[in-house]
Amino acid sequence: MCALSHDGCGRGYTERRECRRLREPTLDTACVGGFTSATNAMLDLRYVIENLDSVRVSLGRRGAAWAAPLDEISALAQRRREAIMASEKLAKELNDATAAMAKIADKKGAEFTAAREKNRALGDERKQFERAQAEVELDISDLLLSIPNEPAADVPDGADEEHNVVVKTWGAAPKMDFTPKDHHDLGTALGILDFERSGRLSGPRFAVLWGAGAMLERALAQFMLDVHVTEHGYTEVYTPYLVKDSALYGTGNLPKFGDQLFKIAGTDERAYDLYLIPTAEVPVTNLHGDELLTEAELPKKYVAFTPCFRAEAGAAGRDTRGMIRQHQFDKVEVVQLVRPEDSEAAHEALTRNAETILEKLGLHYRRMLLCAGDMGFSSKKTYDLEVWLPGQQRFREISSCSNFGDFQARRAALRYRPSEEGKGKAKPRFVHTLNGSALAVGRTLVAVLEQYQQEDGTVLIPEVLRPYCRGLERITART
């Protein structure tokens, strides 16, 4: 798995999460009734229960372990129903009794007093039932949140990247009559990449860019933004780089992948945790959380340029050289919220939007269809774009474009009301969410350096970038 993939990982019920959090410090006051709030994990549960066998099969395609919680969920769902029946029966009884009391004229009389005593007991009993119900629902919710999305039918089987499928290849490796350098040596020699000083400042997996390097990073980002806004119809959006944990539940990064995130210290006074975003996907996808959109305003197409922060836990020793895998990198991200019936076409189009950037830059790349076992947690279907790196003599991921179906929408409460003519007020539906890196700027910089390097160690700047580089045509050694 590559660093950039699975940035497609999801946020959810805004308030529920806050509530879950409170659960830990105060075990005895587990939030009652949280499950039936406006957002609906319940649909999810119903779907899982009603399609237990097919869900088991599709989750199994990601790896056998993923399907394991299903039996427990099924059993808990049964317990939940029983708890609800018991608790609602009592609630009805109590409500009737209370309504009757309201009709008693003499609030000081013996009749009223007797009724009050009886109801007091009833009310206590009801609270017990409600607690029991809430307890079961929290358990179910925990399990549901830890289950990944079902792979789409046309996603190939396979446990790891070995089974990803090459969909297409664009361009050709640039002809070089010399041994190409990798970006690390190239950039260091040109004086535009500096890993010594970044190490001193911040440790491994950071970079300092100087002069033309810094300019190129900025130029790439701006070029990408301009293309997506003016040619692909995206709306540029600037978002916070710190988000609440609730946003991370929505996209699916939490609860399972917290070890990939940088959590901000010094927020102890707050009731929630703040994290550095691992991708713009998190703030942007959650932008319309808990809103009810109209069908007319779909699709929503957003592009955001942000830094991304990743802990890269478990990647020790991998890609330690150069700036392939950094704790901090820039990315231009495209996100779409669409009607369910449009998401497949949107996924193809969005992937094309990312490819267009590579093609305009003249960078040799290929498109991979990820197999079930290699996909991110929240994704139904993912294309990775891999760019050719002459210095490594291999393709490396530079973009990951995913269709999440309604997975994130359910967790983040992203809904719209269909405007079906003549059919009255249609029920709200979940949108489908998609996103893709378009592109990871740091890796694009690497690809430009390596693919455009010349025998003399200089680097030509792609034509389309020159207007963004004050007309500079070639990067030569920094003086």
Partner RNA sequence: GGAGGCGUGGCCGAGUGGUCGAAGGCAGCAGCUUGCUAAGCUGUCGUACCCGCAAGGGUACCAUAGGUUCGAAUCCUAUCGCCUCCGCCA
Catalytic residues: 310, 325, 397, 400, 443
Residue 94 or 472 having the CB closest to RNA: 94
Q: Is 97 a binder of RNA (CB under 7 A)?
A: yes
What are the Cα distances from residue 456, in Å, to 181, 343, 413?
11, 47, 55
Q: How far is the CB of 280 from RNA (least distance, A)?
A: 19
CA distance 372 to 357: 27
Q: Which of 108, 394, 425, 470 binds RNA (CB under 7 A)?
A: 425
- Give the x/- contact pattern for RNA in 105-124, rule: CB under 7 A: --x-------xx--xx-xx-
- Which tokens in the block code for residue 212? 């033309």
Instruction: Give yes or no for a contact between 436 and 399, defined as CB atoms under 8 angstroms apart.
Output: yes
Instruction: Give yes or no for a contact between 401 and 6, defined as CB atoms under 8 angstroms apart.
Output: no
CA distance 354 to 440: 10
Q: Is 29 a binder of RNA (CB under 7 A)?
A: yes
- Which tokens in the block code for residue 343? 């998401």
Q: Is 140 a binder of RNA (CB under 7 A)?
A: no
> Rule CB under 7 A: which of 251-270 touch RNA?
270
- The 10 Å Cβ neighbour count of residue 59 is 23
Instruction: Give yes or no for a contact between 402 and 33, defined as CB atoms under 8 angstroms apart.
Output: no
Q: Is 36 a binder of RNA (CB under 7 A)?
A: yes
Residue 79 or 366 having the CB closest to RNA: 79
User: CB under 8 Å to 315, separation ≥6 — which residues?
Assistant: 3, 325
Q: Is 287 a binder of RNA (CB under 7 A)?
A: no
Q: Is 40 a binder of RNA (CB under 7 A)?
A: yes
Q: How far is the CB of 232 from RNA (least distance, A)?
A: 29
Q: Which of 175, 394, 427, 470 binds RNA (CB under 7 A)?
A: 427
Instruction: Give yes or no for a contact between 298 and 415, defined as CB atoms under 8 angstroms apart.
Output: no
How far is residue 383 CA from its own chain's centroid? 15
Residue 85 or 477 having the CB closest to RNA: 85
Q: Which of 25, 266, 314, 424 binds RNA (CB under 7 A)?
A: 424
Q: Is 85 a binder of RNA (CB under 7 A)?
A: yes
Q: Is 318 a binder of RNA (CB under 7 A)?
A: no
What are the Cα distances from residue 479, in Å, to 186, 190, 211, 259, 458?
15, 9, 10, 42, 13
The stretch among 29-37, 303-311, 382-390, 453-461 that binds RNA (CB under 7 A) is 29-37
Q: Which of 67, 73, 134, 375 binds RNA (CB under 7 A)?
A: 134
Q: How far is the CB of 86 from RNA (least distance, A)?
A: 9
- The 10 Å Cβ neighbour count of residue 428 is 14
The stretch among 38-46, 54-62, 226-234, 459-467 that binds RNA (CB under 7 A) is 38-46
The stretch among 41-49, 161-169, 361-369, 470-478 that binds RNA (CB under 7 A) is 41-49
Q: How far is the CB of 36 from RNA (least distance, A)?
A: 5
Q: Which of 38, 166, 167, 477 binds RNA (CB under 7 A)?
A: 38
Q: Which three-class secondary structure string do you get for 191-212?
A: CCEEHHHHHHHHCCCCCEECHH
Q: How far is the CB of 130 from RNA (least distance, A)?
A: 8
Count of alpha carbons within 13 angstroms of residue 403, beta-carbon side: 28
CA distance 336 to 341: 13
Instruction: Give yes or no for a contact between 415 and 428, defined as CB atoms under 8 angstroms apart.
Output: yes
Longest dimension (CA), the chain: 104
Q: Which of 19, 48, 132, 385 binds RNA (CB under 7 A)?
A: 19
Q: Is 32 a binder of RNA (CB under 7 A)?
A: yes
The stretch among 83-91, 157-165, 171-179, 394-402 that binds RNA (CB under 7 A) is 83-91
Q: Is 352 a binder of RNA (CB under 7 A)?
A: no
Residue 178 or 238 having the CB closest to RNA: 238
What are the Cα distances from residue 313, in Å, to 179, 260, 316, 322?
33, 6, 7, 18
CA distance 455 to 99: 89
CA geometry: angle at 11 spanning 9 and 17, to 5°?
135
The stretch among 34-42, 207-215, 316-324, 393-401 that binds RNA (CB under 7 A) is 34-42
Residue count (the chain): 479
Question: Which long-range contacts link 64-68 to residues 24+ away (Cβ below 8 Å)?
Answer: 66/147, 66/148
Residue 123 or 457 having the CB closest to RNA: 123
Q: Which of 52, 101, 176, 460 binds RNA (CB under 7 A)?
A: 101
Q: How far is the CB of 330 from RNA (least distance, A)?
A: 21
Q: Is 88 a binder of RNA (CB under 7 A)?
A: yes
Q: How far is the CB of 21 from RNA (least distance, A)?
A: 9
Binding site for RNA (CB under 7 A): 15, 18-19, 22, 29-34, 36-38, 40, 42-43, 46, 81, 84-85, 87-88, 91-92, 94-99, 101-102, 107, 115-116, 119-120, 122-123, 127, 134, 270-272, 292, 417, 419, 421-425, 427-428
